[in-house]
Amino acid sequence: MIPASFEYFAPRSLEEALQLLAHHGTEAKLLAGGHSLLPMMKLRLATPRTLIDLGRIRGLSYIREDGGRISIGAMTTHAEVESSELLRRRAPLLPETAAEIGDVQVRNRGTLGGSLAHADPAADYPAALLALDAECVLTSQKGTRTVVAKDFFVDMLTTALQAGEILTEVRFAADSPRTGSAYRKLHHPASGFAIVGVAARLTLDATGKGSAVSVGITGVAPKPYRATGVERGLLGQTLDAKRIAEASAQATRGVEPLSDLQASARYRAAMAAVFTRRALAAALGRAQKQG
C-alpha cells in the first residue's frame, strides 16, 4: 500500500501536458481521477517514474451538445456524467451506466477518460460507449485523431492509445426520436465491477420495427464487444419480448467468455444472455413510451 517514488507534474495546459508526455515517454503515466492508477501504484503493480496530473488543466471537463452530437471532455467525472441534465435528456444510457460505477467516492473522483484509457475488462463505460457508437478523440503533439470505440479497445487493459497521446474527448450522436436505452449489470460481489454489463440502445421506426439496435457488452470477454449476433436478430424486426429473448441467446456468439473465482465461463455466457434480454426489454419499453 506504499507506492514507489515518482516525479509529479501538474501541467496547467494540454500543450504542457503533451510536452511532458513526449519528453518522459513510456516512463510517464497520466493521472486522472487516480482510482485505477493509484491502487495499482500502492501495490507496486504499476511503478511509473513520472506522473502527469491532468487535474489542473482547465477545459478537459465538459458535456455539450452541438448539432445533435454530444461531446464529453475526458476529465469529466462519473458523478458529473451521472447527474448531467443534458445527458439524461439526450443520451440517458451514459448517466445510467455512470450511476452503476463503484460508489459515491469513486464516482466523485473517477473520470470518463481514465476509465476508458485503463480499459479494465470489467469496467462499465465501455459497454455504453460501444452501444453509442462513440468516437474517442486522441490528442498528441502531432495533432488529433479519432478512433471509434470498437477499435479503441484492443485487449485486456490495452487500448489504441499510442505513446504521447492523451484521450481528450468522447463524442457520439444524441438519441434520435423513439429511441430507448438501458444498462443492466451483474455486480461482482467484491469489487462491484461488472461480471456482466450490457448496454443496449434501440430506435423504433413508425411501425414498431427496430431501425437501429446496438448492444455493448462488458465483463464477459477480455475486451468489451458489440453483440452483433443479437443486433442482427433484431434489426428490421418488430420488437417484442419473445424476439428479444431469442436474439439475446446470441449474446456471446463468437466470444470466449472469461472464467474466474466468481463466475465460470459458462455462467458468464448464461448471464450475458439474461442481462442482454433485460437491457433490451427495458430499452424497448422506454422507446415505446416515447410514442
Partner 1 sequence: MKLEGTQTISAPREGVYRLLSDPAVIARLLPGCEKLEPAGPDTYEVKMKLGLAALSGSYQGTVKLSEQRPPEHLRLTVTSRGPWGFADGDGGFTLSEQGGQTTVHYAGELKVGGMVASIGSRLLDGAARMVIAQFFKNLEREAAAE
Partner 2 sequence: MKRKEDPRLIQGLGHYVDDLSLPGQLYAAILRSPHAHARLRKIDRSAAERAAGVVAVITGEDIRGVLGTIPVAAALPELKVPPHYPLAIDNICYVGEPVAVVVADDRYRARDAVDLIEVDYEPLPAVTDPEKALEKSSPRVHEQFKDNQACLWKIEAGFPDRAFKKADRIVRQRFLNQRLIPVAMEPRGVLASYDPGPELLTVWSSTQIPHLLRTQIAAMLNVPEMRVRVIAPEVGGGFGSKLNVYGEEALVAHLAMKLGRPVKWMETRRENFLATIHGRDQIDDVEVAVKQDGRILALKCRLTADLGAYHQLLTPAIPTLTGLLMLGCYKIPAVKIEYVGVFTNKMATDAYRGAGRPEATYLIERMVDLVALELGKDPAEIRRQNFPKPKDFPYSTPTGVIYDSGNYEATLKKALELAGYKKLREEQKKLWKQGRYLGIGLSTYVEICAMGPSSAMPAGGWESGTVRIEPTGKVTVLTGASPHGQGQETSFAQVVADELGISPDSVIVIHGDTQAVPYGIGTFGSRATAVGGTAMFLAVQKLKDKLKRLAGHLLGVDPKRIEMGEGKLVVKGKPKKSKSFLEVVQAAYVAKTLPPNFEPGLEATTFFEPSNFTFPFGAHVCVVEVDAETGDVHILRYVAVDDCGNVINPLLVDGQVHGGIVQALGQALFEEAVYDENGQLLTGELMDYAIPRAWDVPRIETARTVTPSPVNPMGVKGVGEAGTIAATPAIVNAVVDALRPLGVRDIQMPLKRERLWALLEARGS
Ligand X SMILES: Cc1cc2nc3c(=O)[nH]c(=O)nc-3n(C[C@H](O)[C@H](O)[C@H](O)COP(=O)(O)OP(=O)(O)OC[C@H]3O[C@@H](n4cnc5c(N)ncnc54)[C@H](O)[C@@H]3O)c2cc1C
Q: Cβ closer to partner 2: 2 or 206? A: 2
CA distance linking residue 74 with residue 76, whole number of Å: 6
**Partner from partner 1, partner 2, ligand X, none binding residue 33, C-beta < 5-8 Å depending on class:** ligand X
CA distance linking residue 188 with residue 268, whole number of Å: 12
Yes or no: say if 205 and 217 are a contact pair by the CB < 8 Å rule: no
Instruction: Select from 82, 96, 124, 175 the one that contacts ligand X (CB under 6 A).
Output: 124
**Partner from partner 1, ligand X, partner 2, none binding residue 229, C-beta < 5-8 Å depending on class:** none
Please report whether residue 79 would count as binding ligand X according to CB under 6 A: no
Question: In the window 116-145, what residues touch partner 1 (CB under 8 A)?
Answer: 118-119, 121-122
CA distance linking residue 105 with residue 197, whole number of Å: 21
Q: Cβ closer to partner 1: 9 or 209? A: 9
CA distance linking residue 140 with residue 188, whole number of Å: 36
* Residue 94 zone, left/alpha/beta (φ > 0; ψ -120 to 50; rest): alpha
**Partner from ligand X, partner 2, partner 1, none binding residue 234, C-beta < 5-8 Å depending on class:** none
CA distance linking residue 170 with residue 48, whole number of Å: 26
Helix (H, G, I), strand (E, B) or coil at 158: strand
Distance in Å, CB of 157 to partner 1, minimum: 4
Binding mask 197-236 for ligand X (x = CB under 6 A): ----------------------------------------
Q: Cβ closer to partner 2: 118 or 178? A: 118
Please report whether residue 162 would count as binding partner 1 according to CB under 8 A: no
Q: Where are the beta strands (DSSP E) in the chain?
A: 7-9, 28-31, 50-53, 63-66, 69-73, 135-140, 143-148, 153-155, 158-159, 166-173, 179-187, 194-204, 210-218, 225-226
Q: Cβ closer to partner 1: 240 or 256? A: 256
The residues with which 17 forms a beta bridge, in sequence order, are none
Binding footprint of partner 2 on the chain (CB under 8 A): 1-5, 43-44, 103, 186, 188-192, 261-264, 267, 270-271, 274
Distance in Å, CB of 232 to ligand X, minimum: 27
Distance in Å, CB of 42 to partner 2, minimum: 8
Please report whether residue 104 would count as binding partner 1 according to CB under 8 A: no
Q: Cβ closer to partner 1: 2 or 206? A: 2
Q: Cβ closer to ligand X: 28 or 230? A: 28
Grid cell, residue 275, equals 442481462
Helix (H, G, I), strand (E, B) or coil at 41: helix
CA distance linking residue 266 with residue 52, whole number of Å: 41
CB atoms within 10 A of CB 129: 30
List residues near ligand X by CB under 6 A: 29-37, 39, 54, 74, 101-102, 106, 109-111, 113-115, 117-118, 120, 123-125, 161, 166-167, 192-193
